[in-house]
Chain A
Amino acid sequence: MSGCGAVVGGVSLDNVDISTQAVIQGIVSKDGQPASVGYVRLHDKSDEFVAEVPISKQGEFRFFTVAGDWNVVTLIPGGNSRIVAHAELGKILDLEIAVS
């Protein structure tokens, strides 16, 4: 069983049937380089927190969720960002998040 907790972005999609999931993933960057320390939070459309993952050393993150609009909140030392993402069932949404 996987924990309730966060899995660093980039987790393998082997053996995962994404036809029943909406995947939001991406890379966080600062000053044109992948951020190596930080967290990405997923909030629902009412801005209720749903999940949080630490980004990988390469700035990657991933969420498995349901279709709909989501707020993706990024926190890194000295900066943060917030964007709206539209996830669709059976599809992988790739984001590039630049934090200033």
Chain B
Amino acid sequence: MKTWAIATNTFREAIRDRILYLILVFAIVMIGSSRALSLLTVGSEEKIVKDIGLASISLFGVATAIFVGVGLVFKEIERRTVYTLVSKPIRRSQFILGKYLGLVLVLAVNVAVMTACFYGLLIAKGWMDFAITRAIVLIFAELMLVTAIAILFSSFSTPILSSLFTVTFYIIGHLSWGLLLLADRIQGELGRNVCRLLYRLLPNLEAMNVKGMVVHGIDVPPSQVVFACLYGAAYTVIVLALAVMIFRKRDFL
């Protein structure tokens, strides 16, 4: 209950910060791009509209996760409201989890409304394909992980540094496959093993990227969606556990 109370409070706070205005921007981008494309492109507009729709859901979500997530814990410390909270019978894990769930709730609302706008446009154009939902589910799994990473950094660093760290993690998460290429080029066994170990340890966000596949009508097996969600959820739990451990060590008194 305490976790839920913190979560709903975080959600309300984000709404007050007009985070949901992003949805309006999304709707404008979607409608504007589909109108502009009919003038500019040759060939199928469907593919481009789907690409832009999925990329916008993902980008607006990542932007929300990073730029709201990095300030969540820090703001409480800076405003000293955290003193009131930690002096109450609330475990620090509940505080971190509550903050995390609050932002996930914001993201869920954001993604749900953006998806509804996107589907509305696709249905109106006669391009609806429910396989797209698989890509959106995985985008949300990725957002959950990115939020956890943002909160982890927020638990011990300033918002600017946390943003930098989270964006770096996001980039690494999409480039981690490069470590396997590097491992093939490295001569020494030790270097190769380090690359392979890092590949295993770092988040692999590409595992949750099937946007291109669904747009091109390539079948994404349900097992792939399930395993990618499981991977994202497990990694999120690990990152949140780390955040809780770090936050527990912090002394506010």
Asked whether A and B interact, the reply is no
